[in-house]
Amino acid sequence: MSNVIFNIDGIKVEGDSNQSILQIARANGIFIPAICYLSNCSPTLACRMCMVEIDGKIQYSCKAKPKDGMEVVSKNEVIEQNRQDIMRSYDVNHPLKCGTCDKSGECELQDYTSIVGVGEQFLAAKDDYLGIKKWGKRQYDPSLCILCERCVTTCSDNIGESALKVEKLETSPNIDAYKDKVSKEVFSMWGKRTKGIISQVDDSCSECGECVSVCPVGAFIIQDFQYTSRSWELTKIPSSCTHCSANCKIEYNVKHTSIKDSSKKIYRVKNDFHFNPICGAGKYGYDFTNSKISSVNDMLSAINAFKESDTIIFNSNITNEEALILQKLKKEFGYKLVNNEAYRYKTFLDNYSSIVGKRLYSATLDDISSSDVVVTLGSFVKSENPLVKYHINKALKMNKGISLYFHPLKDLTMDQMGKNHYQINYKPEYEEEVLYLLLSLFSRVDELPSSIKKYISGNETTFNKVIKEDDKEVKLEVKSSKLLELIGSSLDFIETLTPLKDKEKITLIVGEDLYSGTHSSNLAKLIGLLEKNSIIKTMIIPSNNSIGVNLICDLSSDIGSKTIGYNCNGDFKISANDKVDANFYIPALNQQEGTVCNADLRVVPLNVAIPYNGYCLNDIANELGLYSKYTIDYTKELPKAKGFKTLEFDSLKDDYENDGTNNRGYELKNIDFKINDEVVIEKIDKELNSDNLVYLSNPILQFSEYTAKSKLLKDKAHLFVSKEFLESNGYVDGEIVEVSNNLKTVKLSLKLDKKLEGSVSYIPTYDVFSPIKELFKDYKYTNISVKRA
């Protein structure tokens, strides 16, 4: 990787030798047309629009790498004729349905046909009808498809599912008559296009909807959106998704509900597919607005409740500004602020920070995607934070990295990322053993505390290996660690792990499993030691805005005598969910302005997609004696000492530049934390047995009560099980069972998760009307018994 300086159309540009000429042109504000290219993905050379002339030779700028002093011509008569013929060939037999097509008005076929000036059509080919495919929530119309393969590319390089592929058609039109009428580049591109169609690989799709996002024409659409609006009728509102801590950059598309109903409605969510692919929850779970508005009398009751209560219980699904209002109320009136998820996260982070000396963790999303090795531990990452999974996939696909995925549940979705991905399914409560293994592999063991050194060396062992040398079998003794067997792997796996020691960039991703349960303090300390004594950078995935809540609020662990439940149960319940019974209603997160702290350690803005004409927390706080006209007046007051900036809400940017430069909000400053030199790892017994284990986690597409109430993702709780679970117990998919342990008994329907293997099942958290969470204590795993209801 080195810096290169060269010319594009006589303009001096600078870039990295690893980048393509197209990327450098974009970064330098030079427009080279390209349809099939997706930023930071493999070039497919499907459209060939990005052709340029380099030293008199036609090359494709999405693939060509720059050299010092190179002269690149992005347009001349030949190139422009080729581009015009490419678009002319794309226009052949393209249905004349711009009048009803969802994409009309934002269609790249319309745009480029106009930009390159296709004024007449002299190409023709026999048409055929290939039918319309309905795939889950999407629809694919091959007659509209220009086979740019952006859907295939994003599904493989961004999402990591490879659920789409180009399939060869049995018959295709003969276009030989035009061989001499267009250049060989155009003829070859057109010929390839007429022979292919997109098809879906069975059971591989998780319904992220990114194929719809990237489609330049209307070939991929969302069935629910079809015929509901023209693109130019929709008001585009930039914001951040609030379903998980990725807080992806999204754009709500809003207009009136109908001719009879002028109230605003979200019709769809779009995203910056080049730099921020999103998951299906962001794409489809947008309609969680609160339609209930509290009366003046309810407001008076709320004020009285605040005056009479001593505790506010809340979760991390709130903005930083709401958190600051709660903190100010605590300071003024002495409330105990109770937030279990944020408190668990804080305790974990405190233990980690006391070793590394920083308040927050060290890895960002870019660190993950540029890693040589990505280790994921204790995160059902595909549903905990899909954007993190996409970045792991990026490390594998674009950086030729290696992924080590440690989790008790065998998740076939992760295996879809392809080769160089290793899944190790340890038993719950064995996270410590995984960390000791990582310490033995990646850390400077000599610098570790003696007890840990001793534990690691106590587990050293050898295994015998037979190799062939000069046609003779030679027996070798290879060093390994018994820890591998303890975590369900085998001693010879060390041969895969050992070469990773020499890699230059290693990132550890830690999930929610680790900061629940009695072992969490030990685990946090071990992670701290690993980071301190190695080159490893760590990301500790927060749940929702737990980072913001922790930085802003002084949390308590004990509850007082009278409580306000802020989006939680309490003696006086305040809710942003109109489906639950509450004493007082507040706007949902897509009806509020504010900021949240995301897993990428940035403070990003939320905007109002749908106006809320009722009261919010700020109104209550004002009545109680704080004064601020708008909630976002607090944005500039977020605590600077904790890493926030004193910036006005309206000054926050939220975009990616052409070269991918992230201008979303601002980066949190990672402030110093007091180091505790004494590291004590306590001995904690394991409590679970390996039979009938269940895990508390959501399936893909679901995060909370808000995704579960949305029209397209609506669902209730199930016991998610593997095919093996169904078959070994003689159950059928959908059967009602009784799930019980010493804490609770609940009835649930079984739901087959085709991507799950093994006997461990999982139970989701998104159904607030089901008492399933009561089956669990602190840890995300427990033993249950399942019987027919």
Partner 1 sequence: MQRYDLRHLKDNYSDRMLEIVASTAISEVTIFIIDFCKNYDNVTKALELLEKNGCTIMNSLSFSEVDWTIVVKRKV
Instruction: Enumerate binding residues for partner 1 (CB under 8 A).
Output: 93-97, 99-100, 127-129, 131-132, 141, 143
Taking the complex as a whole, how short is the minimal distance between the CB of residue 229 and partner 1, in angstroms?
A: 17
Q: Comparing C-alpha atoms, which of 578, 592, 586, 585 is closest to residue 634?
A: 592
Backbone phi, psi, residue 355, to 5°: -100, -45
Looking at the Cβ atoms of 97 and 444, the one nearer to partner 1 is 97
- Strands (E) located in 369-499: 373-377, 402-406, 410-411, 421-424, 460-469, 472-481
Q: Comparing C-alpha atoms, which of 424, 473, 431 is closest to residue 681?
A: 431
Looking at the Cβ atoms of 118 and 326, the one nearer to partner 1 is 118
Looking at the Cβ atoms of 64 and 101, the one nearer to partner 1 is 101
Distance, in Å, from the CA atom of 514 to the CA atom of 321, rounded to the nearest integer, reads 28
Taking the complex as a whole, how short is the minimal distance between the CB of residue 234 and partner 1, in angstroms?
A: 21
Residue 524 DSSP code: H
Taking the complex as a whole, how short is the minimal distance between the CB of residue 193 and partner 1, in angstroms?
A: 16
Taking the complex as a whole, how short is the minimal distance between the CB of residue 177 and partner 1, in angstroms?
A: 15
Q: What is the DSSP string of 490-512?
A: -GGGHHHHGGGGG-S-EEEEE-G
Contact 681/436 with Cβ under 8 angstroms?
no
Which of helix, strand or coil describes residue 664?
coil
Looking at the Cβ atoms of 129 and 232, the one nearer to partner 1 is 129
Residue 409 DSSP code: S
Long-range contacts (CB closer than 8 Å, 24 or more residues apart) made by 20-27 = 20/61, 20/62, 20/63, 20/64, 20/65, 21/52, 21/54, 21/61, 21/64, 21/65, 21/66, 21/72, 22/50, 22/61, 22/62, 23/659, 24/66, 25/61, 25/74, 26/658, 26/659, 27/657, 27/658, 27/659
The answer for 118, left when phi > 0, alpha when psi is -120 to 50, beta otherwise, is beta
Looking at the Cβ atoms of 141 and 157, the one nearer to partner 1 is 141
Contact 19/4 with Cβ under 8 angstroms?
no
- Strands (E) located in 55-157: 57-60, 71-73, 133-135, 138-140
Q: Which two structure tokens, joined as six digits, stand for 561?
A: 């005598």
Taking the complex as a whole, how short is the minimal distance between the CB of residue 95 and partner 1, in angstroms?
A: 4
Distance, in Å, from the CA atom of 766 to the CA atom of 748, rounded to the nearest integer, reads 14
Looking at the Cβ atoms of 143 and 370, the one nearer to partner 1 is 143
Looking at the Cβ atoms of 120 and 477, the one nearer to partner 1 is 120
Taking the complex as a whole, how short is the minimal distance between the CB of residue 91 and partner 1, in angstroms?
A: 10
Do β-strands 138-140 and 220-222 pair in parallel, antiparallel, or remain unpaired?
A: antiparallel
Taking the complex as a whole, how short is the minimal distance between the CB of residue 163 and partner 1, in angstroms?
A: 24
Q: What is the 3-state secondary structure (H, E, C) of 277-308?
A: CCCHHHHHCCCCCCCCCCCHHHHHHHHHHHHH
Looking at the Cβ atoms of 98 and 293, the one nearer to partner 1 is 98
Taking the complex as a whole, how short is the minimal distance between the CB of residue 190 and partner 1, in angstroms?
A: 17
Contact 214/159 with Cβ under 8 angstroms?
no
Looking at the Cβ atoms of 212 and 483, the one nearer to partner 1 is 212
Which of helix, strand or coil describes residue 25?
helix
Please name the residue that has the structure tokens 């929850």: 281
Taking the complex as a whole, how short is the minimal distance between the CB of residue 116 and partner 1, in angstroms?
A: 21
Contact 297/594 with Cβ under 8 angstroms?
no
Do β-strands 785-788 and 421-424 pair in parallel, antiparallel, or remain unpaired?
A: unpaired
Contact 117/84 with Cβ under 8 angstroms?
yes
Taking the complex as a whole, how short is the minimal distance between the CB of residue 121 and partner 1, in angstroms?
A: 9
Distance, in Å, from the CA atom of 760 to the CA atom of 222, rounded to the nearest integer, reads 34
Looking at the Cβ atoms of 141 and 512, the one nearer to partner 1 is 141
Looking at the Cβ atoms of 198 and 536, the one nearer to partner 1 is 198
Taking the complex as a whole, how short is the minimal distance between the CB of residue 227 and partner 1, in angstroms?
A: 10
Taking the complex as a whole, how short is the minimal distance between the CB of residue 120 and partner 1, in angstroms?
A: 13
Looking at the Cβ atoms of 102 and 272, the one nearer to partner 1 is 102
Taking the complex as a whole, how short is the minimal distance between the CB of residue 144 and partner 1, in angstroms?
A: 9
Distance, in Å, from the CA atom of 176 to the CA atom of 191, rounded to the nearest integer, reads 9
Taking the complex as a whole, how short is the minimal distance between the CB of residue 647 and partner 1, in angstroms?
A: 49
Taking the complex as a whole, how short is the minimal distance between the CB of residue 127 and partner 1, in angstroms?
A: 6
Looking at the Cβ atoms of 128 and 648, the one nearer to partner 1 is 128
Distance, in Å, from the CA atom of 376 to the CA atom of 395, rounded to the nearest integer, reads 13
Looking at the Cβ atoms of 54 and 215, the one nearer to partner 1 is 215
Looking at the Cβ atoms of 230 and 744, the one nearer to partner 1 is 230
